[in-house]
Amino acid sequence: SSEVTQDPAVSVALGQTVRITCQGDSLRSYYASWYQQKPGLAPQLVIFGKNGRPSGIPDRFSGSNSYKTSSLIITGTQAEDEAVYYCNSRDSSGNPLFGGGTQLTV
């Protein structure tokens, strides 16, 4: 089906590790990208490809991929990581498809 699903909300204790997941058939043959969005701001790319990080994104952010699941992992979560995280894949036509977003509470 042409959709990717995310848990609406996840919480993590300060300094702990959290995994945010994105599931969908398209992820069997596609690398999702991940975006962090804080209130009132534009989304910001944090992970792309197999496990790429743009310049300026802390190395506590990482990605992993397994079958139909893409994961964003934050190791040693900081207070400033509290945000909504969106994954992006593609639909059956090859067009961008966003997950519904996961609110991360630290």
Partner 1 sequence: QVQLVQSGAEVKKSGASVKVSCKASGYMFIGYYLYWVRQAPGQGLEWMGHLNPRSGDTNHAQSFQDRLTQTRDTSLNMAYMQLSGLRSDDTAVYYCARGKTDCLSGICYTYFDLWGQGTLVTVSS
Residues within the interface to partner 1 (CB under 8 A): 29-33, 35, 42-45, 48-50, 54, 86, 88, 90, 95-101
Q: Give the DSSP H or E segment for 83.
A: strand 83-90
Burial 4-31 (b: 16+ CB within 10 A, else e): bebeeebebeeeeebebbbbbebbeebb
Closest CB 77 distance from partner 1, rounded Å: 22
Q: Between 16 and 92, name the residue whose CB sits nearer to partner 1.
A: 92
Closest CB 30 distance from partner 1, rounded Å: 6
Query: What is the C-alpha end-to-end distance of the chain, expressed in Å?
Result: 32
Q: Between 10 and 100, name the residue whose CB sits nearer to partner 1.
A: 100
